[in-house]
Structure 1
Amino acid sequence: MKAFTATRDAAATVRLTEVAEPAPRPDQALVKVEAYSVNRGETFQLERPPGGDWRPGKDVAGLVVQAAPDGSGPPVGSRVVGHPPALGWAEYVAVPTGQLAVLPEQLGTVQAAALPLAGLTALRLLRTAARHTGHLAGRRILLTGASGGVGHYLTELAAAGGAELTAVTASAERGHRLGELGAARVVHQVADAEGPFDLVLESTGGADLPIALARLAKRGLLLWFGQASRQPVTLDFFALLNGPTSATIRQFSYADVDEPDGADLATLVRLAAEGRLHPELGTVRDWHDTPRTLADLRGRQIRGNAVLTVN
């Protein structure tokens, strides 16, 4: 079968090659991939890819063509969305059944492929935030780096939970869409955000994090879930004396869970099927355009999610 493999070449980080078809383990279903999503974080990973037989690809949607030998998971013929640990940019992928959710008729595979990584991140960020605050209703939230796939999901889910969210995006066009999804305010620089905020969801790092941190309310929480600027953060303790009182900074990883992703994937699928969550498809292309799509993501040329269809 054909699959994209890492090249370790900065000019073209992936190449379409022939590889062996997967041999599923007892707890894995074989999925014929119809669409997959490419995330900006994966472009960074491809700069220093793991060794061994690793291949990229964590967000897939398609058709089960071989059920798991142990009897778990969906039967043959089921349309599914999955979040395998890797290997998904291919014609076929073996996915642990705990990492799958079945798709209803009203949700297409293109839309579903945009859900896993970005949707799981948004869902779990807000769940973590709610544990800190007790609830989201009425809470003031600042979201940096809001124009990507995670930012769109966060905005829509936070607004649905009753939060008052300020989104930061450099683009007026993208800001307009975030307003449609429920952002109470849109600003183009973190410095323009008017606090104090109960929560800061920070994904850019660099100079933005200290500015966002200074806008926290007393005992507020900053969840740091990315560093899209590729710049390290420097914090000055004495500057904080004129900022928030007893602020908490917490590093967040969407993978910090004790159960498989299937249940949360099913939640995202249900919300999307009900029209309560809208995958933001910045581009939909044939999978042969994966190298160009990776370059566009690195260059911030794509708003929302990038989905590739496999023919």
Structure 2
Amino acid sequence: MKAMLPGTAADAGRPVVLGEAAEPEPTAGEAVVAVEAYSVNRGETLQLDGGLDRRWAGWRPGKDVAGTVVRAAADGSGPAAGTRVVAHPPAYGWAERVAVPTTSLAALPDSVDAVTAAALPLAGITALRLLRAAGPLAGRRVLLTGASGGVGHYLTELAAASGADLTAVTATAERGARLLQLGATGLLTSVDGATGPYDVVLESVGGTTLPRALARLAPGGRLVWFGQASREPVTLDFFDFFKGPVGARITHFDYTVSDTTYGQDLTALVRLVGTGRLHPEIGTVRDWSHTADVITALRDRRIRGNAVLTVD
């Protein structure tokens, strides 16, 4: 079958190339999905760059897919063949077919198309789990950095619906305009303009942004650190931290750690989209032959929200 393979030195610097891969060999608890659309995430671009471990030999990218089950799981779990689904496999999803654990997929209603669904998994699951980590948000002041990506759009809409007073930080006002429409009450182009104090800071940039955001916490506030989009190391002066807001906390967030399955969270996200309460922000939709170009555009921050590729 056809699949996107990591580029090699012979591929003129292209991060991925379309090639041939073996058909998936599902375990008893996995269904095979014929992929109709997939989404590209920043973490995958980092893996392709070598900035994150690829974890295993033979790794291929692809964690966000939507399509149709063509082979149901042998153990009887999950949906039947012919069911339209959205899924979050551990990898290999940028291909014509992929094996997915049945605990990592959700059925799609007719009202949610494959392109919309493909934008949900990683960004949407991360946003849901971040909100759980942050705790109740009704009436609380929230600062969100790096807000113009896929996670940021979901976080903004979900937090606003929960009653949060959320200020979003984006590189430019243009990139953040949609966040105001989704419920953000304030928009900044630098953490330096944030007056605070904030009950919760959701921080995804790293570098010098994290300590500056941390200084704007209210007493007893919580900073949830969930990304490092700047790719710059963070240096914290803990003496300054101890002299700062009394009782403030820093929480390291890992979206893979949860008491819910990916499938359960995808079911919740699909329900929200289907009822018009969540609106995936899709910055571009291209044929999958343009995947390398889309990756470059993501690296250069030329895409707001999610990037979705459709599979012929």
Gapped runs of 5+ residues in structure 1? none
- The equivalent of 2:2 in structure 1 is 2
1:65-214 pair list within 5 angstroms? 65-130=70-135, 135-214=136-215
Structure 1, 2-11 or 156-165: larger mean CA deviation: 2-11
Q: Is the 8 A contact 1:213 1:244 kept in 2?
A: no
- The equivalent of 1:35 in structure 2 is 37
Percent same amino acid among aligned pairs? Answer: 64
Instruction: Give the AA of the match of 1:277.
Output: L
1:196-275 pair list within 5 angstroms? 196-240=197-241, 243-275=244-276
Structure 1, 75-84 or 241-250: larger mean CA deviation: 241-250
CA distance in structure 2 between the aligned counterparts of 1:127 and 1:240, rounded to whole angstroms: 24
CA distance in structure 2 between the aligned counterparts of 1:140 and 1:35, rounded to whole angstroms: 36
Structure 1 residues 161 and 92, CA gap change in structure 2 (3 angstroms): same
- How far did residue 258 of structure 1 move? 4.1
Q: Is the 8 A contact 1:31 1:93 kept in 2?
A: yes
Q: Is the 8 A contact 2:142 2:164 kept in 1?
A: yes
- How far did residue 7 of structure 1 move? 2.5
- Matched residue of 1:235: which SS? coil
Structure 1, 79-88 or 233-242: larger mean CA deviation: 233-242
- Matched residue of 1:95: which SS? strand
- Matched residue of 1:46: which SS? helix
CA distance in structure 1 between the aligned counterparts of 2:256 and 2:56, rounded to whole angstroms: 21
Q: Is the 8 A contact 2:203 2:210 kept in 1?
A: yes
| Alignment pair present for 1:52 and 2:53 | no
CA distance in structure 2 between the aligned counterparts of 1:212 and 1:242, rounded to whole angstroms: 15
CA distance in structure 2 between the aligned counterparts of 1:64 and 1:148, rounded to whole angstroms: 29
Structure 1, 192-201 or 51-60: larger mean CA deviation: 51-60
**Aligned length in residues:** 307
Deviation string, structure 1 residues 69-99 (Cα, Å, up to 9, x no partner): 1111111111000000000000000111111
CA distance in structure 1 between the aligned counterparts of 2:241 and 2:57, rounded to whole angstroms: 45
CA distance in structure 1 between the aligned counterparts of 2:301 and 2:227, rounded to whole angstroms: 15
Instruction: Give the AA of the match of 1:119.
Output: G
TM-score calculated relative to the size of structure 1: 0.96
CA distance in structure 2 between the aligned counterparts of 1:278 and 1:140, rounded to whole angstroms: 23
- How far did residue 108 of structure 1 move? 0.4
- How far did residue 6 of structure 1 move? 1.4
Instruction: Give the AA of the match of 1:260.
Output: T
Deviation string, structure 1 residues 161-190 (Cα, Å, up to 9, x no partner): 000000001221222110000001001100
- How far did residue 45 of structure 1 move? 1.1
CA distance in structure 1 between the aligned counterparts of 2:75 and 2:55, rounded to whole angstroms: 30
Please provide the CA RMSD for this pair: 1.2
Structure 1 residues 218 and 8, CA gap change in structure 2 (3 angstroms): farther
Q: Is the 8 A contact 1:8 1:47 kept in 2?
A: no
- How far did residue 152 of structure 1 move? 0.2
Instruction: Give the AA of the match of 1:37.
Output: S
CA distance in structure 1 between the aligned counterparts of 2:226 and 2:56, rounded to whole angstroms: 25
- Matched residue of 2:178: which SS? helix
- How far did residue 259 of structure 1 move? 4.2
Q: Is the 8 A contact 2:31 2:99 kept in 1?
A: yes
Q: 4+ residue stretches of structure 1 with deviation over 6 A? A: none
Q: Is the 8 A contact 2:7 2:13 kept in 1?
A: no
- How far did residue 139 of structure 1 move? 0.7
Gapped runs of 5+ residues in structure 2? none
CA distance in structure 1 between the aligned counterparts of 2:242 and 2:105, rounded to whole angstroms: 47
- How far did residue 240 of structure 1 move? 3.1
CA distance in structure 2 between the aligned counterparts of 1:190 and 1:303, rounded to whole angstroms: 19
Instruction: Give the AA of the match of 2:200.
Output: L
- How far did residue 136 of structure 1 move? 1.1
CA distance in structure 2 between the aligned counterparts of 1:270 and 1:187, rounded to whole angstroms: 31
- How far did residue 242 of structure 1 move? 5.0
- The equivalent of 2:290 in structure 1 is 289
- How far did residue 243 of structure 1 move? 2.8
CA distance in structure 2 between the aligned counterparts of 1:258 and 1:240, rounded to whole angstroms: 31
Q: Is the 8 A contact 2:282 2:305 kept in 1?
A: yes
- How far did residue 238 of structure 1 move? 3.2
